[in-house]
Every structure is written in structure tokens, then in C-alpha cells.
Structure 1
Amino acid sequence: MHAAQHDTDPAEPPRRGSSANFATRVVTVLAILGAAWLLIEMTSLLMLVFAAIVLAVVFDAMARLLTRWTKLPRGLALTLAIFILLGVFIGIFVMFGAQLAREFDTIREKIPGALTAIEGQLETWGLGDRVRSVFEQGAGDVSSLMSSAGSYALSIGSGLADFALVLVGAIFLAADPAVYRRGVILLTPKRAEPVMDDALDDCTHALRGWMNGQLMSMIVVAAATSAGLWLLGVPAAGGLGLIAGLLDVIPFVGPIIAGTPAVILAFTVSPATALWTVGLFFLVQQIQGNFLQPMIQKYAVDVPPAVLLFAVGGAGILFGFLGVLLAAPLTVVTFVLVQRIYVKTLLGREITVAGREERETSGG
């Protein structure tokens, strides 16, 4: 009897241990699934947080410049930087708002007629029967879109609320970035803290470099496009140039989106003007791709073009329009994190640190 009891007792702890291990695994899996579901549900909020981080980097860079030039305390320099940036946007709106509004009205009014002119021109070339239905549908869609613009008031209000949230969040982040940086590092395992510290430095340098280069690129693209369209006699040249400059922040896709209304409006002048407009956008993008983009990559990070292209598509699928808008800085940050954490730390290979001239190896 004692022997039988002795034989059965040792089996009890393993059974209890197995049950505890199974329960731990179940809880772990459920926690992972719950965290994944929560992240999916909060994708829009996470993108707004990232937008606030990008804007905070802008404020921080401006504050650093003001501190260097004027020797003002950081708090005062940051306040001045915020007012300067907001003042620039408000000033542009006040000085050019009425003119741009008239030009956007011109774009809205002339696009349906331009589509009809394109259809007529194609018919003279013997292609009318093949494409008439397509252009009729396109003209109807554009007219419907323009006529129902008032129904987007709710979406515009939501966008303004998101912008206010991003702006306030960026101000808080830029006011004391060390607090949030320290919080991220505290959430990192102790042995990985130096790697995370370096990774955050890399991301900051890369975002600053991307921001500086991209701003210059947008100004050049907007000015060159506006001047070229004005010389060609295309209506609403200023508004179309502004659209081209703003959409330059979206790699590859932005120029195509910006060029489409310009070419359509150019058809209201003549088919030859439309062809010249296509050539103008091609020339501007060649300048941007061969001169401005390498400059951005030099000061930010050299992301391969194919990676950027698929990143724009992936960000659009996952996060919608805001993802497309933030695709470039999001790709830059992801790229430098992969370099620092995976390529350098895990693989021990040499990397080029984003936004810096020195090269780092696994030993230093």
C-alpha cells in the first residue's frame, strides 16, 4: 500500500506543473492576440501619434536653430518657432488664399469641359468609339464629386480635429522630448537600452535630414511647376503648382496625382499644350529625382527606390490616406531601425548611420 502510494505521489507535481504551463501558454497567446487586435483597432491613432512626432521634430529643429542664432532659452525659442511656423501658414493663406481659391474654382469648373475636349480630340483621331464611354463615366464622376463637395463637411471637421490633436501633441513632445525618450528606454529590457538609445538618435537624425531636404524639394517643385505652366498658358498655374509641391511629399505617386489635373486643363488650351505639360512634369520629376532626391538621401537615409514604392502602397492599404502622406518618413524611421537593431546589433555588420558622416561597425 505504501509502495503504491509512493508510486502515485511523484506523478502529481508534474501534472500540476503541466497544467500551469498550459495555462501560462494560453494566457500568453491570448495576451498577444489581444495586443495585436488593440494595435489594429488603434492604427489611426498610432498614425496621428507618428504625425505628431514628425511635427515635433520640425519644431525641435527650428528651436535649435533659433537657440543657436539668438542664444535664447530653449523654451522661448520653441514658442517662437511654433508661432513662426503657424504665422507662415496663416500668412500664405491670407496673402494668396483668395487667388488660390479662384484658381481652384477654375480647376473645378474646367475639368468637365476639358474631359469633353479630350474626347472630341480622340474622336478626330479615330479613337472616339473606344474611349467615349470611359470619358463619359469619368466626366460624370468628376462632376458628381465636385457637386457633392458640401457633403464632405463632416470629414473636413474630423480632419481639423485630427490636425489640432497632432499640433497640440507635437508641442508637448517638442517641449520636453527627454521625458518621452526616457519613457521609451525604460520600457526596453536593460541589456537592450544602449541599442534603443542609439536607435532613437538615428531616427531623430534621419527625420531631421528628411525634413530639411523634403522642404527644399517641395519649394523647388512648386516654383518650377507653377512657372512652367504659366509659360505654357495653362489655367490655374499657381494652384496646380501648389498641388505639385504639396504632393511631392508622396514618393512616385504624388507627381502622377498632381500631373493629372494639369494635363486635363492643358487640353482646354490645345492638345499640343497638353503634351508640353506632360513634358514639363517629366522634366521637373527628372530634376527632383536626379538632383533633389539624392540630396535628401544624403542628409537622411539612402532608402532604395523599390522599398519606397512598395512602402507607399503598403501604407495606403494599411492606414489609408494618412499612411500614404506619412509613407516617406515612416519608411525612413523603419529603415534606420532595421539597420541599427537587426543589421548592426543582431548580425554585427557595418552600417552607415543616418544623418551622420561617420561609419559604425559592430565593435564601436
Structure 2
Amino acid sequence: MVAARTGRTPEDGPNRGAGPRQTWAALPWLVRSAVVWSACLVVIAAGFYLLARIIMLVTPLAIAVAATLFLTALLDPVQLALRRLRLPATLAALLTMLLLLGSLGGVGVLVWHLTANQFSELGDELRQGLGHTRDLITSALPVTDEQLDRLLAQLRQAATSPQVDPLASARTVAEVLGSALLALVLLFFLLKDGRAIWHWTLRRMTGPNREIAAEAGRVGWRTLGSYSRGTMLIAAIDAVGIGLALVLLGVPLAFPLALITFIGGFVPIIGATVAGAVAVLVALAADGPTTALLTLAAVIAVQQIEGNLLEPLVMKRQVRLHPVVILVAVTAGTLIAGIGGAFVAVPIAAVAWRVIDSVQRQRQPAGAPSDPPAPPPSPEPRDAG
């Protein structure tokens, strides 16, 4: 009678409806962990892929916004100093932008007068240096000239497009000019109304999220400011140090090489490596292997002093990233947005890491330890005597 009313047969167990749950619980814990972690990785990878696709669709806008934030953090102390002189916000922002444009224009004119005729010589010296390097490779390694020429031709074909599309070139130029103009306009408004915009955004939040967002914003802004000013100072120190070394060694084209070193300083690790390689190739073509080796030693010495002594003093500890993170960020930025992406990838990674770390710390329960407790010391063995 009970079986007829409930619709169950005597063979049915009490947990018949929990079959999938029992099956999942019956799996080994290693398999369950692998399934859960694989699903999480698939979701995270899909999110990153969609984000990368969106950024690729609006690459000029993304680079313009990133460059604007970088310049705003760099020029914010100047704007604040002008505001302390009782200047209106509009006038302070305008004077700050004029100072930036005047500095860039003056430096550009100076560089043009000093290096306009030297960059063609730099190209010739680089070709000669590559030729000397090729001779050294073919003499030291079991590689023939034909094999090396074939490899270089393949690399050149992979790096350059066989045909130049005039329409695509014009579009690229228009995108670059439009991004530069947009960055200047955004820079003016962020210098003028940046804090008001941030406070307006915070007022739209309620509850504990407002404090979390406010602290994360402060941490991210301090990180970006420290990174921008520290990177510019370190790049200038590298350029001056390597330029003086090239002058003392008698390497020609020292000023253009110092300029390349300064620009390469804004792309950590990779930029310094490329700039040092260019200097060594020019020294090899101009003065031979001995001067090239001395130039290599000077470049390594300057970069080691900068990385181990100056960078910890100039850069704050929270701004520094592991070299693996820097390489991955620069590579990803280059693949997504080319040279512009390589310049803005590292500051974006540094700010994102500091913001995420700040949010995690604030969401921690009060009194919870930030680090796992250290294991208790093992008891000392007692003397048997």
C-alpha cells in the first residue's frame, strides 16, 4: 500500500534523486579539483579573450586614454603647484599643457638640429655593424652565408608586408593624429576637472563600496604617478650614463644613441636591451670588436647600477613588478596594439595589480591575518645527560 501511494518500488533506495550528486562525490578528489580548476580557467581565458577583442576594436581610443592618464599623473604636481598660487583651474590646466607642449617642442627642435644629419649615418653604421656580426657568426659557427641569407630573408619577409596599401597607410596616419589630438583634449579636461569627476563618481556609490573604491583609486593614482615620474627619471639617467660612456670610448653618434636609450627606457627590459644592442653594433662597425666589447661592458654596468641601486631609490616598492610580469605585459601590449601597446602595458599592469591588492586587503575581515602564520618552532631536543 505504501509503495502504491508513493510510486516507489521496494528496490528504490532513499537517495534515488541524488544520483548525480552521489556520482560527483564518488569521483576522486583530484579529478574533481581538475574539473573545477579547468572550468575556472576556461571562464577566465574567455573573459581575457573578449577583453582583448574589444581593446583591438578600439585600439586608438585605448592608447589615447592610457597616454592621457600617464601624462596627467606626470603633470599633476605642476598643476597642483599652480593651483596653490591661487590660479583658476582652467588657467592652471592651460599653463600646464603649454609647458608640456613647449618642452616637447623645444626638445624636438634641439634634437632635430643635433641629429637630423646623423640618423642617416646611424643607419649606415647599423648596416655595417650587422655585416661585421654576420662575419663573426659565419666564422665561429657552422653556418654558411647562403643559409644565413635565407634565414634573414625569411625573417624580413615575416616582419614586413610585401605590399604597402596606401589606403591603410593613410588610415593609420589619421588614427595616430586623431589619437594625439584626443589625448591633448582629454589631458586638458583631466587636469582641470579630474578630481571633480572622481568625486562625482564616488558620490554615486553607496555603502562600503564607496570607501573601497576611494582607497583603490588613491592607491592606483599614486602608483601611476610614481611610475611615470620614476620611469622618466630612470630613462634620463640611463641616457646620460650610456651617452657619457660612448663619448669617453670615442663611439660616433653618441647623441642619437643616447636619445634611443632614453626612448627605450619607457619599455622596461626590452627597450634597454634593444638600445644597448644598437650601441654595441655602432661601436663594432666604427671601431672594431674591442670598442664594441667595452661598449657592451659600459651598457651592462649602467643598467646594473640603475636596476640594483637607482631604481629601488627612485621607484617606490609597490610600483616594482617581477621581470616575468613585465615581459608578459610588454609582449601582450605589443601583440594587441603594437609599439603604443608596449609603452602603456607595464603602467597598466602595475596600476591594476595595486588596485586589486588594495581591494582584497579592504575586503579582508577585521582582525584576519594578512599573511599565513609562521609554523611554530620545533622544540629543542633535550640533553639526555
TM-score category by the smaller chain? Answer: 0.7 to 0.9
What percent of counterpart residues are identical?
Answer: 24
Match of 2:61 among 30, 45, 51: 45
- Hey, what's the Cα distance between the residues in 1 that align with 2:364 and 2:146? 58
1:10-49 map, 5 Å = 38=54, 41-49=57-65
Tell me which structure has the larger Cα radius of gyration: 2
Unaligned runs of 5+ in 1: 1-31, 352-364
CA pair 199-74 structure 1, distance change in 2 beyond 3 A: same
- Structure 2 counterpart of 1:160, one-letter code: L
CA drift at 1:39: 5.5
Greater mean deviation of Cα atoms: 187-196 or 254-263: 187-196
- Which of residues 348, 353, 356 is equivalent to 1:338? 356
How many angstroms apart in 1 are the aligned matches of 2:208 and 2:215?
13
Deviation sequence 1:309-342 (CA, Å, 0-9, x none): 3222233334432221012211221111111112
CA distance in 1, matches of 2:56, 2:173: 24
- Structure 2 residue identity aligned to 1:322: G
Tell me if structure 1 keeps the 8 A contact 2:72–2:187: yes
Alpha-carbon distance in 2 for matches of 1:309, 1:175 = 35
Bigger helix fraction: 1
From 127, 130, 133, the equivalent of 2:141 is 127
Select which of 47, 58, 61 maps to 2:77. Answer: 61
Find the counterpart in structure 2 of residue 291 from structure 1: 309
> What is the CA–CA distance in structure 2 between the aligned matches of 1:284 and 1:271, rounded to whole Å?
20
Q: Is the 8 A contact 2:60 2:176 kept in 1?
A: no
Match in the other structure for 1:316: 334
Determine the structure 1 residue equivalent to 2:283. 266
Q: Using structure 2 for the length normalisation, give the TM-score.
A: 0.71
Equivalent residue, structure 2, for 1:213: 230
Secondary structure of the 2:321 match is: coil
The 3 A distance-change label for structure 1 pair 309 and 187 is farther
* CA distance, structure 1, for counterparts of residue 337 and residue 55 of structure 2: 12
How far does residue 190 in structure 1 lie from its aligned partner after superposition? 4.4
Higher relative contact order (CA 8 A, sep 6+): 2
Report if aligned partners of 1:114, 1:264 keep a CA contact under 8 Å in 2. yes
Gapped regions of structure 2 (runs ≥ 5) = 1-46, 371-385
**Alignment map for 1:346-357 (pairs within 5 Å):** 346=364
Give the TM-score, by structure 1 length.
Answer: 0.75
Compare 315-324 and 250-259 and name the one that shifted more: 315-324
Aligned match of 1:100 in 93, 115, 129? Answer: 115
SS of equivalent residue, structure 1 residue 267: helix
Equivalent in the alignment of 1:203:
220
2:104 pairs with 1:89: yes
Contact 1:297 1:303 survives alignment (8 Å): no
State the partner residue of 2:94.
79
1:212/1:126 Cα in 2 relative to 1: closer, same or farther (>3 Å)?
A: closer
CA contact (8 A) 1:222 1:242 kept: yes
2:205 & 2:58 partners in 1: Cα distance?
22
Change (3 A) 1:222 1:314: same
With 241-250 and 55-64 compared, the bigger mean Cα shift is at: 55-64
Q: Alpha-carbon deviation of 1:52?
A: 1.3
Cα contact 1:207–1:329 (8 A) shared by 2: yes
**1:182: which partner in 2?**
199
Aligned to 2:261: 244
- Deviation, structure 1 residue 40: 5.7
Tell whether the 8 Å contact from 1:206 to 1:300 is kept in structure 2 after alignment: yes
* 2:363 equivalent to 1:325: no
Contact 1:43 1:319 in 2 (8 A): yes
Partner of 1:227: 244
User: 1:96, CA displacement in angstroms?
Assistant: 2.6
Size of the aligned set, in residue pairs, is: 314
Partner of 1:275: 293
